[in-house]
Structure 1
Amino acid sequence: MAQRLVGCLLAAASLVAGCKERSDKPIAGLLAAGAPVVRKEGKAEYTIAVGAQLLGDVKLTATGPAVLEYFGGGLRFLEKGDTLEVGDADEAKLHGSNLPSYRWADGGVQEAPRALRIVAARYTNVQVTPKSAHEDAYSSTQYFVAFFTPNGLSRLGSDTKHEGPHQPLPAPPFRPKVPFIHAGDLGEGGLVAVVEDGFAVAETDDLATAVLLEGREVPLGRTVRLLVPDGAEVTLKGPGGVEVEVEGPADVRLR
């Protein structure tokens, strides 16, 4: 009887030892979204804010084009209807970007070394769109409001005490020009992008991001990085009538 009891205890211990607990550390961030990305918890749904950190066990559903940036550097593009548990993606295991790197130079696109960046410092631990920004969020451009600014969410509602980033910025030289990735305007001027097929993602020098949709001509303004998913096609229009086609996958630095 005693031997059987010891055997059962050893078996139970081995089962416990074999079970790995999921880490509570975020492993990705929502880099950009062209429509709400929804986190599901049971029957409840929450809209993820652009710039939010995401834990490995978070289950997402995309209602339109979006891209996750894993803290190892991998990028995962999502389209309408895609569902994903963040930590299950192959991109979660990567060390470095999974897109070929290029740069805009001399009126064309040339191969370039992969840019090094500290990914985790670009995202905040606020994981859902604040309630003060929910009005008409699903049906208008208000979804693209810059949720995170250097002064927190001071413009998005009266009760901002518990909303927005409050952690100090990383110490130099790792401090970005604004605290976090956020949805925002690309600015006027610069190159013009026309998405011929699929979609693309632009990121500016102040960490604002936007999704560029098919068939639209968009001035890239302050854009420093253009992400083109596999299968997508973008035409870049420059000064003097220059036109350059970019086929995905591509991570193009414009400055």
Structure 2
Amino acid sequence: MARRLVGCLLVASTLAAGCKERSDKPIAGLLAAGAPVLRTVGKQKLPVAVGAQLLPDEQLTATGPAVLEYFGGGLHFLEDGDTLEVGDADEAKLHGVNLPSRRWESGQVREAPRTMRLVAARYTDVQVTPESSLQQDGTYSSAQYFVAFFTPNGLSRLGSENGKADGPSRPLPPPPFRPKVPFIHAGALGEGGLVATVEDGFVVAETDDLATAVLLEDREVPLGRTVRLVVPDGAEVVLRTADGQKTEVEGPADLRLR
């Protein structure tokens, strides 16, 4: 009888360990999105702001290319129609970036040591969706989505009394006079610099003031203040310098431009 009791206790403790509740702390952030990423809240699907922290049990649906950055450093890519529970991705368990590190040097792409960064500090808990971003049928267009979450004075100002309207009230000043934003956010890359043309897939650009954008195929995009290009596996992008020199970059690669 005693042996049975001990055996039952062991089984119970094993089951309890296997059924450990998932953490309620954020483990990832939305690094960039080329179209709205939606999270399921009850029976609704609400857009996630670029730069928002994500909890393990968040149910996401992508309506276009997007990238999640896990606080351990792993990157998870989404495309139109993909669904994901944030904590179930393999990248949630990684420590370090899961793309080869590269650097741009004298017009060439070279190997580079992995970049260490405090990923969690790059994201905020903003989850507000301004009402003016809604269309009449209650859905969101890509343009409205980005205007709603484009806050040049920082995501902390979103929805505050100081914000007279969603999005910038006037054109932003050119670099280096553009105000700094303390968190990842969707925004312009700036003018000048290298010019990127994506030939296959999509690529993510990140600037020195933490603005991000998804670059799509067959569009020439000045990279301006871009300091990082994230090139997924299978993607290809051509970088052109001011003197016309072209360099093709194939994914996977986490490319530092500065």
Equivalent position of 1:47 in the other structure: 47
Percent identical among aligned pairs is 69
Deviation for aligned residue 1:111: 1.1
Determine which of 196, 215, 219 is the counterpart of 1:212: 215
**Does residue 59 in structure 1 map to residue 62 in structure 2?**
no
CA deviation digits over 1:39-58, x for unaligned, max 9?
11342211110000001111
CA distance in 2, matches of 1:218, 1:81: 26
Question: For 1:77, what is the secondary structure of its paired residue?
Answer: strand
Structure 2 unaligned runs (5+)? 164-179
- Does the Cα contact within 8 Å between 1:192 and 1:236 map onto a contact in 2? yes
Equivalent position of 2:246 in the other structure: 243
Change (3 A) 1:91 1:31: same
- Does the Cα contact within 8 Å between 1:47 and 1:129 map onto a contact in 2? no
Change (3 A) 1:151 1:216: closer
Change (3 A) 1:59 1:222: same
Q: Which amino acid aligns with 1:108?
A: Q
Structure 1 unaligned runs (5+)? 161-176
CA deviation digits over 1:177-234, x for unaligned, max 9?
5321000000111100000000000000000000001111100011000011100100
Deviation for aligned residue 1:153: 5.7
Alignment of 1:119-138 (within 5 A): 119-126=119-126, 128-132=127-131, 134-136=133-135, 138=140
Alignment of 1:1-255 (within 5 A): 10=9, 15-126=15-126, 128-132=127-131, 134-136=133-135, 138-145=140-147, 146-152=149-155, 154=157, 178-255=181-258
Change (3 A) 1:193 1:46: same
**TM-score of the superposed pair, with normalisation by structure 1:** 0.83
CA distance in 2, matches of 1:19, 1:155: 38
CA distance in 1, matches of 2:211, 2:14: 48
- Does the Cα contact within 8 Å between 2:203 and 2:232 map onto a contact in 1? yes
Question: For 1:64, what is the secondary structure of its paired residue?
Answer: coil
Q: Which amino acid aligns with 2:213?
A: A
Aligned-pair RMSD on alpha carbons?
Answer: 2.6
CA distance in 1, matches of 2:243, 2:235: 25
Deviation for aligned residue 1:109: 1.2
Equivalences, count: 237
CA distance in 1, matches of 2:58, 2:196: 33
Question: For 2:243, what is the secondary structure of its paired residue?
Answer: helix
**TM-score of the superposed pair, with normalisation by structure 2:** 0.83
Question: For 1:26, what is the secondary structure of its paired residue?
Answer: coil
Question: For 1:91, what is the secondary structure of its paired residue?
Answer: helix
CA deviation digits over 1:83-142, x for unaligned, max 9?
11111111111100000111111112111111111000000012x342245235832523
- Does the Cα contact within 8 Å between 1:132 and 1:157 map onto a contact in 2? no
Q: Which amino acid aligns with 1:131?
A: P
